[in-house]
Structure 1
Amino acid sequence: MIMRISSKTIYDVGVGQISSLQSALARTQSQLSTGRKNLTAADDPIATARALEVTQSQGINTQLVTNRANAKGMLSLETVALHSSGTIMQDIKTLLVNAGNGSMTQKDRESLAVELEGRLQDLLGQANSSDGVGGYVFSGYKSTTLPFTQTATGAAYQGDQGQRSLQVGSTRTLPISDSGASVYENNATGNGTFVTGAAPGNLDRGGSGIISGGSVKDATQLTGNRYQIDFQVVPASPGVPKVTTYTVTDLTLNQPVPATPVPAVPQPYVSGQNITFDGMQFDIKGDPADLDSFSVEPSTKQSVFTTITDIISALRAPGDGPAGQASLSNKLNQAHLNVDSAYDNMLSIESAVGSRLKELDYLDSSGDDLNLQYATTLSGLQDVDVVKAISLFTQQQTNLDAAQKSFKTLSGLSLFNYIS
């Protein structure tokens, strides 16, 4: 049976086939020009959805890189301020040692006091360090508030206790600041457990007793109570030497130490001999006067600016003669412990900041690896195989050329061409 094909059918079929080949060729050309194998979501819905998820994760990772850079900037500023503050504290410790020289005159001590005033201003400058964007490093959440203002007794903290933080990892939020209170005010007085001191009246009575900072002998016996050591002096008489004794009173419980017998039996005083009770141990040297007293109290928190201001006041107080030297030594001994506590606190915080910076380096390395993984995954989902696409493009181009030539030949087979 002979099937007759009309000229219209020949044209419709030919044009349709050529259009299909052209569309396929154009699609391959678009893949090559864009480098993407999936031009629309319909090409591969699953790969497209997966690529969207990976792209979102990649964007989050990019933001975390920015966050880590900002965190490094803030922590680096804090490190500089803490290091400079530590250097200032070392200078102050040196000045304290010099101040204890018994050969110094009141004029010499005044020179040291003036120098300490300069160090106090330097330290305030570091505590009020700017973050470079209109805020302050140590003001907590109140970033635009000047952290410290100088007062007659040291400095007043205007910030809050907040510790700013940033998300620097998918599951890690890192502190990027420390409050000024934790750096410059959170310093234990004395030896960290208790603080010893001499009563101001000792100077007027001419006593030259000097009490040490002491140490903890047995932590299990500590009470956290307040104590007072009172001296009694019986002057020497012909044939009878001077007798100096002391009693210890627990001011919190209002009873002698030890509690029995009552009244308390005065203990003989020997210069430099350890005095031990309720887990604490210290000594008193020199020659206390009758009714002189010394205190032992639980450690508290004190601002480093208060400590420095107290040192300046001590240097400007009368310090001549045995009693004056003893009064100055008692104040300087206490100041040494307080300065050491403040310096150790700064070093501890500086170390913590260094640990955060090191962690950020690790997170950066991990983030780089993760970004490479995301890029590799996206490439597998989206990137076209260039060699395969070029081969396909050449094949499609050949097919299109053949289709066009054959259509031209077929469309030319018409009976009208042979009718003369």
Structure 2
Amino acid sequence: MRISTAQMFHQNINSVTNKQSQTSQIIEQLSTGKRVNTAGDDPVAAAGIGNLNQQNAVVDQFIKNIDYAKNRLSITESKLGSASTLASSAREQVLRAVNGTLTDSDRQTVADELRGTLDELMAIANSKDESGNYLFGGFNTGSQPFEFDASGNAIYKGDSGVRETVVASGTTIGANIPGDQAFMNAANGLGDYSVNYLAGQTGEFSVESAKVTDPATHMPDTFTFTMVGNDLEVRDSSNTVVTTVPAFDPNNPVSFNGMEVKLDGKPAAGDSFSLEHKPEVSLLDTINSAIALIEDPNMVNTPAGKSELAQMLNNIDSGMNQLDVARGSAGNSLKSLDSYAATHEEEKIVNNSALSMLEDLDYAEAITQLEQQQQALSAASSVFTKVGTVSLFDYI
């Protein structure tokens, strides 16, 4: 078989080049610590590595989302805890004001303390996170959610939006508590109606509850109750008599218009009060109204004033319960976030273990292969050198 000089050189050069390429590949593996650096190293393993890296990228994004949500909810939960403490303090201050032995100066001191508590509550309701966004504004995080209008009523300028955070495939968790859910829409302590007592009240009584019992037949309105002699007369907003309870007995509730009203104590003849449909009350408004009542020396010690304070205490209790529910909601979300975070961390451990099996280099085996390749390269180079110097003239 004849082999041309060009063919001989070509074969020897290819042999040396291949050995150099194989040696370089092993050196690259040793430098990166990876068995698979390109798809050509192991196509099947490269496909698995790509899938696992993609899964880890998705998991990392979930973990980032969870960390962001946990940060906001942790601040929210802490703020709501402080608000609950302040609401409890406000209740104690209102209870102090009920004491009939207090002087006008003492009650003013209580009112001043209560105003300070209200200011602190407003500051919490208008809290911001580390990015300068309002915590309790719902979707409206760029403007202050709470303020008092010219009439002294609390106004909520946020919305009821809950910002959902994706924490797993197909799973979201709310990362905020809207301000109306925490501070504004507490259930009325009396039920579905609030009471307006008149300063001329002489009887020792208060409304214990005013609840809708039959929503199908109930028509919301403002109702006025008046003791006419020994009978209790009820009129609607058009001054039409709705019902009259002869020989009124406070042990029996007054039922009409799909609602039921219970009184604690009996009004005196001529006493009157009204019920306004108001199933929800604001903790901020309640405290503000309590301050105004305590500062009014002509009202606070009257039977009507005491009855109003009793109603306000009920509404403060309801507001405290609302804060506790909102705080509990934040706490439950934090617990769920911790659970999802732990699941994702375990998933990453499993993925990384699989990645290690697919791409990590066995250094002992690689070093052995490198030595073999280097010897083979040296041998190929030596053969090429010797063959390249052979000439026919050496044998003539």
Matching residue of 1:302: 281
TM norm structure 2: 0.87
Instruction: Give CA deviations for 1:359-398 in whole Å, capped at 9, x if unaligned.
Output: 1111110110111222223333333333332332232223
Greater mean alpha carbon deviation, residues 163-172 or residues 406-415? 406-415
Confirm whether residue 229 of structure 1 aligns to residue 230 of structure 2: no
- AA paired with 2:168? G
Confirm whether residue 285 of structure 1 aligns to residue 265 of structure 2: yes
- AA paired with 1:326? P
CA distance in 1, matches of 2:308, 2:253: 20
What secondary structure is seen at the aligned counterpart in 2 of 1:149?
Answer: strand
Greater mean alpha carbon deviation, residues 396-405 or residues 176-185? 396-405
Contact (CA 8 Å) 1:231, 1:246: kept in 2 or not?
yes
Matching residue of 1:74: 72
CA distance in 1, matches of 2:110, 2:359: 73
CA distance in 2, matches of 1:170, 1:48: 25
Shift of residue 307 of structure 1?
A: 1.0
Greater mean alpha carbon deviation, residues 54-63 or residues 122-131? 54-63
Matches within 5 A, 1:81-120: 81-120=79-118
Confirm whether residue 207 of structure 1 aligns to residue 185 of structure 2: no
Change (3 A) 1:31 1:409: same
Matches within 5 A, 1:123-138: 123-138=121-136
Matching residue of 1:337: 314
Which has more radius of gyration?
1
CA distance in 1, matches of 2:92, 2:147: 26
Matches within 5 A, 1:113-192: 113-151=111-149, 152-192=151-191
Change (3 A) 1:33 1:287: closer
What secondary structure is seen at the aligned counterpart in 1 of 2:208?
Answer: coil
Change (3 A) 1:337 1:18: same
Contact (CA 8 Å) 1:213, 1:282: kept in 2 or not?
yes
Matching residue of 1:32: 30
CA distance in 2, matches of 1:283, 1:274: 8
What secondary structure is seen at the aligned counterpart in 2 of 1:214?
Answer: strand
TM norm structure 1: 0.83
The percentage of aligned residue pairs carrying the same residue is: 27
Matching residue of 1:52: 50
CA distance in 2, matches of 1:401, 1:369: 48
Q: CA RMSD in A?
A: 2.9
Greater mean alpha carbon deviation, residues 350-359 or residues 377-386? 377-386
Contact (CA 8 Å) 2:147, 2:154: kept in 1 or not?
yes
Confirm whether residue 362 of structure 1 aligns to residue 339 of structure 2: yes
What secondary structure is seen at the aligned counterpart in 1 of 2:231?
Answer: strand
Segments of structure 1 that go 5 or more residues without pairing to the other structure are 234-243, 258-263
CA distance in 2, matches of 1:51, 1:374: 9
CA distance in 2, matches of 1:217, 1:277: 10
Greater mean alpha carbon deviation, residues 50-59 or residues 305-314? 50-59
- AA paired with 1:39? N
Greater mean alpha carbon deviation, residues 211-220 or residues 81-90? 211-220
Change (3 A) 1:217 1:139: closer
Aligned residues: 392
Contact (CA 8 Å) 1:148, 1:156: kept in 2 or not?
yes
Greater mean alpha carbon deviation, residues 382-391 or residues 178-187? 382-391
What secondary structure is seen at the aligned counterpart in 2 of 1:160?
Answer: coil
CA distance in 1, matches of 2:216, 2:307: 26
Greater mean alpha carbon deviation, residues 339-348 or residues 296-305? 296-305
CA distance in 2, matches of 1:42, 1:252: 89
Contact (CA 8 Å) 2:182, 2:323: kept in 1 or not?
yes
Segments of structure 2 that go 5 or more residues without pairing to the other structure are none
